[in-house]
Amino acid sequence: MKFGVNAWVWVSPLTTEGVAELAPKVKALGFDWFEVPIEGTGDIDYARAGQILRDNGLGVSVCAAMGPDRDLIHPDKAIRDNGMAYLKHCIDAVRTMGGTNVVGPLYSAVGRVWQMTDEERARDTDLLVQQLRELATYAGDKGAVLGVEPLNRFETSFINLASQVVEVVDRVDHPACGVMLDTFHMNIEEKSLGAAIRAAGKRLVHLHACENDRGAPGSGNVTWGEVAAALREIGYDGPVVIESFTNKVQSIARAAAIWRPLAPSQDALAQDGLKFLKQLLA
């Protein structure tokens, strides 16, 4: 397994200069993977960022930031088209940096919730499958992989469960479209974290290892023993990435509802979480 950390632990938005500052820190903390969230499409020089990460011996993935104007199933076609263009940008970016995985809620804007009839859900699911099939073909041709992530009910009303994302991914039926799971969201929505991981099975391409309060993994009430056992059972050997946020950056704090420090410092959150995960999974 590769153990990583998302730049949102420290900064938002991430820039080229942020990559240069964080990469040696992340390596010194003991990580071997760095996750790049792409907020503005002009924030990062991907060729330079990739070289910085290689110089520090770090693998890389891209985390998509699905805002109100990036939504693959929105009623407004212009917003759908913008979401598709953005995700193709993310695919190009991860390949330029030397990675493969583009992960996140690759279907709708984070925070958009709406009530659906069964017929409306079926219609939107059909649309999503069509959109993801096009993106998976684009990704596969470039050597990239999509990881589609369920979110909790407060951040989306569309895909909350592993079973729901498995249904979509199986319908897309493309080797470049897989599942990403996040223990923070799973801890809210799933009856059993282990059962959810086993349901994803070989489709699981990426894991966010996050505590129930977004603090350091191992410091809260996530059923980590169950997580570890299920990962071993399915033979998972992909990236395990800590995703958290800082209350010092107002924009991301509001978006992720981070109203207080979750650890003595952001470095401590990352380092303590890494130590726990290595003991649990390595």
Active site residues: 149, 243
**How open is the CA angle 34-38-43, to the nearest 5 degrees?**
105
Distance, in Å, from the CA atom of 145 to the CA atom of 142, rounded to the nearest integer, reads 9
Contact 153, 184 (CB under 8 A): no
CA 99 and chain centroid, separation: 14
User: Is 193 strand, coil or helix?
Assistant: helix
Which structure tokens are listed for 241?
């990435």
Distance, in Å, from the CA atom of 25 to the CA atom of 31, rounded to the nearest integer, reads 9
DSSP 4-16: EEEGGGT-SS--H
